[in-house]
Amino acid sequence: MTNTNKSKRAPIPQAVRRLWWWFAGPAVATVFGAIAYQIPTVRNATATPDPWITLGIPAIILAPNFLVILPVWWGMRRIKRAVAGTSGRACTNCVHDLSGLGDTGMCPECGRAFDIAADQRSWVRVKVLK
Protein backbone atom coordinates (compact mmCIF):
# COMPACT_ATOMS: atom_id res chain seq x y z
CA MET A 1 0.00 0.00 0.00
CA THR A 2 1.14 3.51 -0.73
CA ASN A 3 0.67 6.42 1.57
CA THR A 4 -1.02 9.09 -0.55
CA ASN A 5 -0.35 11.88 1.96
CA LYS A 6 3.43 11.66 1.58
CA SER A 7 3.38 11.16 -2.19
CA LYS A 8 1.22 14.24 -2.81
CA ARG A 9 3.04 17.41 -3.76
CA ALA A 10 2.23 20.73 -2.18
CA PRO A 11 -0.19 22.82 -4.25
CA ILE A 12 1.05 25.83 -6.20
CA PRO A 13 0.09 29.02 -4.32
CA GLN A 14 -2.84 30.87 -5.85
CA ALA A 15 -0.88 34.14 -6.00
CA VAL A 16 1.76 32.49 -8.21
CA ARG A 17 -0.86 30.69 -10.28
CA ARG A 18 -2.61 34.01 -11.05
CA LEU A 19 0.72 35.49 -12.10
CA TRP A 20 1.41 32.59 -14.47
CA TRP A 21 -1.89 33.31 -16.27
CA TRP A 22 -0.12 36.30 -17.81
CA PHE A 23 1.56 33.80 -20.14
CA ALA A 24 -1.79 32.49 -21.45
CA GLY A 25 -2.60 35.43 -23.73
CA PRO A 26 0.81 35.62 -25.43
CA ALA A 27 0.90 31.83 -25.80
CA VAL A 28 -2.47 31.88 -27.58
CA ALA A 29 -1.31 34.81 -29.73
CA THR A 30 1.84 32.90 -30.68
CA VAL A 31 -0.12 29.78 -31.65
CA PHE A 32 -2.60 31.78 -33.72
CA GLY A 33 0.25 33.77 -35.26
CA ALA A 34 2.04 30.58 -36.25
CA ILE A 35 -1.18 29.26 -37.76
CA ALA A 36 -1.78 32.54 -39.61
CA TYR A 37 1.79 32.38 -40.91
CA GLN A 38 0.83 29.18 -42.74
CA ILE A 39 -1.84 30.99 -44.77
CA PRO A 40 -0.51 31.28 -48.36
CA THR A 41 -1.15 35.04 -48.59
CA VAL A 42 0.86 35.70 -45.44
CA ARG A 43 3.56 33.23 -46.45
CA ASN A 44 3.91 34.87 -49.89
CA ALA A 45 4.13 38.31 -48.29
CA THR A 46 7.10 37.15 -46.22
CA ALA A 47 8.81 35.58 -49.22
CA THR A 48 9.66 39.02 -50.60
CA PRO A 49 13.21 40.20 -50.07
CA ASP A 50 12.01 43.15 -47.99
CA PRO A 51 13.67 42.68 -44.56
CA TRP A 52 10.96 44.63 -42.75
CA ILE A 53 8.37 42.06 -43.78
CA THR A 54 10.65 39.05 -43.41
CA LEU A 55 11.68 40.01 -39.87
CA GLY A 56 8.61 42.01 -38.91
CA ILE A 57 5.96 39.29 -39.05
CA PRO A 58 7.83 36.81 -36.80
CA ALA A 59 8.68 39.71 -34.48
CA ILE A 60 5.00 40.67 -34.24
CA ILE A 61 4.09 37.05 -33.53
CA LEU A 62 6.67 36.74 -30.73
CA ALA A 63 6.43 40.28 -29.28
CA PRO A 64 3.66 39.50 -26.75
CA ASN A 65 5.82 36.78 -25.21
CA PHE A 66 8.68 39.16 -24.61
CA LEU A 67 6.42 41.94 -23.35
CA VAL A 68 4.94 39.71 -20.63
CA ILE A 69 8.27 38.54 -19.20
CA LEU A 70 9.01 41.77 -17.31
CA PRO A 71 5.66 42.04 -15.47
CA VAL A 72 5.77 38.35 -14.47
CA TRP A 73 9.36 38.69 -13.25
CA TRP A 74 8.41 41.83 -11.34
CA GLY A 75 5.42 40.08 -9.75
CA MET A 76 7.48 37.06 -8.71
CA ARG A 77 10.07 39.39 -7.22
CA ARG A 78 7.35 41.15 -5.20
CA ILE A 79 6.00 37.80 -3.97
CA LYS A 80 9.49 36.57 -3.02
CA ARG A 81 10.19 39.73 -1.04
CA ALA A 82 6.85 39.56 0.77
CA VAL A 83 7.26 35.87 1.67
CA ALA A 84 10.89 36.34 2.75
CA GLY A 85 9.87 39.31 4.90
CA THR A 86 7.41 37.14 6.78
CA SER A 87 9.69 34.07 6.99
CA GLY A 88 7.16 32.06 4.98
CA ARG A 89 4.15 33.13 7.05
CA ALA A 90 2.29 34.67 4.11
CA CYS A 91 -1.14 33.80 2.74
CA THR A 92 -0.85 31.78 -0.46
CA ASN A 93 -3.84 33.60 -1.93
CA CYS A 94 -3.13 37.29 -1.25
CA VAL A 95 0.45 37.20 0.20
CA HIS A 96 -0.80 38.97 3.35
CA ASP A 97 1.51 38.82 6.39
CA LEU A 98 0.20 36.21 8.85
CA SER A 99 2.98 36.64 11.41
CA GLY A 100 0.82 37.76 14.35
CA LEU A 101 -1.67 34.92 13.92
CA GLY A 102 -1.59 31.26 14.93
CA ASP A 103 -0.48 28.33 12.82
CA THR A 104 -3.96 27.80 11.39
CA GLY A 105 -6.93 30.06 10.87
CA MET A 106 -8.46 32.45 8.38
CA CYS A 107 -6.56 35.16 6.53
CA PRO A 108 -7.88 38.56 7.67
CA GLU A 109 -7.27 40.04 4.21
CA CYS A 110 -8.94 37.54 1.84
CA GLY A 111 -10.74 35.11 4.18
CA ARG A 112 -8.91 31.99 2.94
CA ALA A 113 -8.19 29.26 5.47
CA PHE A 114 -4.47 28.86 6.08
CA ASP A 115 -2.14 26.30 7.58
CA ILE A 116 1.36 27.71 7.94
CA ALA A 117 3.15 24.34 7.55
CA ALA A 118 1.25 23.46 4.35
CA ASP A 119 1.60 26.99 3.00
CA GLN A 120 5.36 26.96 3.57
CA ARG A 121 5.61 23.70 1.61
CA SER A 122 3.73 25.43 -1.21
CA TRP A 123 6.14 28.37 -1.16
CA VAL A 124 9.10 25.97 -1.22
CA ARG A 125 7.60 24.13 -4.20
CA VAL A 126 7.65 27.25 -6.36
CA LYS A 127 11.09 28.23 -5.03
CA VAL A 128 9.89 31.39 -3.32
CA LEU A 129 10.99 30.15 0.10
CA LYS A 130 14.14 28.14 0.76
**Its pTM surpasses 0.95:** no
Span 64-100, pLDDT tens digits = 778 888 888 899 999 999 999 999 999 999 999 999 8
pLDDT of 1 strictly over 60: no
Closest CA to 111 of 91, 82, 81: 91
Q: To the nearest whole percent, how much of the chain has pLDDT over 70?
A: 88
Q: Which of 5, 14, 6, 16 is nearest to 127 (CA)?
A: 16
Residue 38 has pLDDT above 90, yes or no: no
User: 10, 51 in Cβ contact below 8 A?
Assistant: no
The 3-state DSSP class for residue 91 equals coil
Alpha-carbon distance 79 to 90, whole Å? 9
Dihedral-angle region of residue 25 (phi above 0 means left; psi in -120 to 50 means alpha; beta otherwise): alpha
Note the pLDDT of residue 55.
Answer: 73
Q: Domain locations in the chain?
A: 11-125
Average pLDDT of the segment spanning 113-119 = 93
